[in-house]
Amino acid sequence: MFSPVKPEERLLAYARLAVRVGANVAPGQVVQVLGLVEHAELVRAVVREAYAAGASLVEVIYGDMHNRRAAIELGPEEMLGHSPQWMLDRVAAWGEQGVAMISLTGDPEPELFADLDGALVAKALPREIQAAYLRLVTERKINWTIVAAPNEGWARQVFGEPDVERLWQAVATAVRLDEPDPVAAWQAHVDKLSARAEQLNERHFDAIRFRGPGTELTVGLLDTARWHCADSKTAWGARHMPNMPTEEIFTAPDFRRTEGTVRSTFPLSVGGAIVRDLELRFAGGRAVEVKASSGEDIIRRQLETDPQAAMLGEVAIVDGESAVRRSGLTFWNTLFDENAACHIAYGHGVAFAVPGADALSPEELLAKGINVSGIHTDFMIGGPEVDVDGLEPGGAAVSILRGDVWQLA
């Protein structure tokens, strides 16, 4: 886990990777940076790199989970999750301008909301803004990326002590900052993932089956959808890398055809609480039973966000070669943990996996089996004990992962 990158260079190198490879900021472009106040150090580095890359304007939105907690705890319930008009207008403007978007993750206090009423916590999510933002992603109107900002609280969650340096080293390895040429290393990495996506595309599986302790799940696929890696393009053809790190090959499943039970293999940090031992049962595409040893409430409320929230929007395959997996760590952060193991997401579908989907209305997407929702929550279901098979239209099973090793040739 030792990283040869010097700490002072690491911050700049990650900021540069986020700007040049992640969002791939174009000269003259407007850039939006989203982070928490605790992320200020990396935010500042990203802003400088964005201007250095030729951004015309870089706007920063600093969030603060403590202020959301105050609203949940002390504010009037009817205002929770309120989306002010100026913010909706702002999100609309992002789409019209075709902005670059760099979001920072890394929760300084993952259990800040753990003692609050889960129903209120779920209510406090800005649903309209989220839905408008997901729509921009679906329509490929922004070149976006999510990167991580190591901080004391997050390090404490991972290591039991606020060892930010150790967390930085883990992050640097996961995002290939310790390679001699990180940009070239990313290119090679993405080429490998793309090749694997092509292997899956050639098979035209009808469904993916996960089998392991507590899991017997079939996820129906769309014959119109393709497998992708994170290597993405905007509607105008600008390449970007939505997640850094990324190790997944994913597609939009047919939201109507998920069946069976699934047990999560990692804890999940979501909405200011930790969800442990999550188990779901799906019938006719819908999650109809929910169980968890902690955070069950927040999942239940998320699934009730809108009529499509309890249907799948994504299925993704990650093997044991993942740089995140090899760290052996639980990062308690979806950007990392979803890249350590196969995962599924309930809520909004990754519609760009379906060619032409960016021109479809929400109603047309739904009619084609592509999910539309105001939320999108990934959770991890893979691991060495979970077999992953592709099911052919005739019903025959083809091994994809055994013991987390890629099986297709």
In the bound state with its own copies, the residue whose beta carbon lies nearer, of 46 and 287, is 46
Considering only the stretches 75-83, 156-164, 174-182, 241-249, report the one whose residues sit in contact with its own copies under the rule CB under 8 A: 75-83
Instruction: Assess 409 for contact with its own copies (CB under 8 A).
Output: no
Instruction: Assess 128 for contact with its own copies (CB under 8 A).
Output: no
The 3-class secondary structure across the chain, one letter per residue, is CCCCCCHHHHHHHHHHHHHHHHCCCCCCCEEEEEEEHHHHHHHHHHHHHHHHCCCCEEEEEEECHHHHHHHHHHCCHHHCCCCCHHHHHHHHHHHHHCCEEEEEECCCCCCCCCCCCHHHHHHCCCHHHHHHHHHHHHCCCCEEEEEECCCHHHHHHHHCCCCHHHHHHHHHHHCCCCCCCHHHHHHHHHHHHHHHHHHHHHHCCCEEEEEECCEEEEEEECCCCCCECCCEECCCCCEECCECCCCCEEECEEEEEEEEEEECCCCEEECCEEEECCEEEEECCEEEEEECCECHHHHHHHHCCCCCCCEEEEEEECCCCCHHHHCCCCCCCHHHHCCCCCEEEEECCCHHHCCCHHHCCHHHHHHCCCCCCCCEEEEECCCCCCEEEEECCCCCEEEEEECCEECCC
Instruction: Assess 20 for contact with its own copies (CB under 8 A).
Output: no
Q: What is the per-residue burial (b if ≥16 Cβ within 10 Å, else e) of 345-356?
A: bbbbbbbbbbee
Of residues 43, 99, 252, 274, which one binds its own copies by CB under 8 A?
Answer: 43
Query: Taking the complex as a whole, how short is the minimal distance between the CB of residue 61 and its own copies, in angstroms?
Result: 8
Query: Taking the complex as a whole, how short is the minimal distance between the CB of residue 124 and its own copies, in angstroms?
Result: 12
In the bound state with its own copies, the residue whose beta carbon lies nearer, of 61 and 195, is 61
In the bound state with its own copies, the residue whose beta carbon lies nearer, of 82 and 226, is 82
Considering only the stretches 35-43, 120-128, 303-311, 329-337, report the one whose residues sit in contact with its own copies under the rule CB under 8 A: 35-43
Instruction: Assess 77 for contact with its own copies (CB under 8 A).
Output: no
Instruction: Assess 93 for contact with its own copies (CB under 8 A).
Output: yes
In the bound state with its own copies, the residue whose beta carbon lies nearer, of 96 and 363, is 96
Considering only the stretches 6-14, 68-76, 245-253, 346-354, report the one whose residues sit in contact with its own copies under the rule CB under 8 A: 68-76
Cβ neighbour number for residue 41 with a 10 Å cutoff: 14
User: 381, 217 in Cβ contact below 8 A?
Assistant: yes
In the bound state with its own copies, the residue whose beta carbon lies nearer, of 72 and 146, is 72
Residues that bind its own copies (rule: CB under 8 A) add up to a total of 33
Query: Taking the complex as a whole, how short is the minimal distance between the CB of residue 38 and its own copies, in angstroms?
Result: 8
Instruction: Assess 12 for contact with its own copies (CB under 8 A).
Output: no
Of residues 4, 7, 70, 236, which one binds its own copies by CB under 8 A?
Answer: 70
Query: Taking the complex as a whole, how short is the minimal distance between the CB of residue 78 and its own copies, in angstroms?
Result: 8
Of residues 4, 7, 9, 73, which one binds its own copies by CB under 8 A?
Answer: 73
In the bound state with its own copies, the residue whose beta carbon lies nearer, of 135 and 176, is 135
Of residues 2, 8, 85, 361, which one binds its own copies by CB under 8 A?
Answer: 85
Instruction: Assess 156 for contact with its own copies (CB under 8 A).
Output: no
In the bound state with its own copies, the residue whose beta carbon lies nearer, of 47 and 372, is 47
Of residues 37, 188, 195, 288, which one binds its own copies by CB under 8 A?
Answer: 37
- Residues near 116 by Cβ (< 8 Å), separated by ≥ 6? 69, 72, 73, 272
Would you tell me which residues interact with its own copies (CB under 8 A)? 37, 40, 43-44, 47-48, 51-52, 55-60, 62, 64, 66-67, 70-71, 73-76, 79, 82, 84-87, 89-90, 93
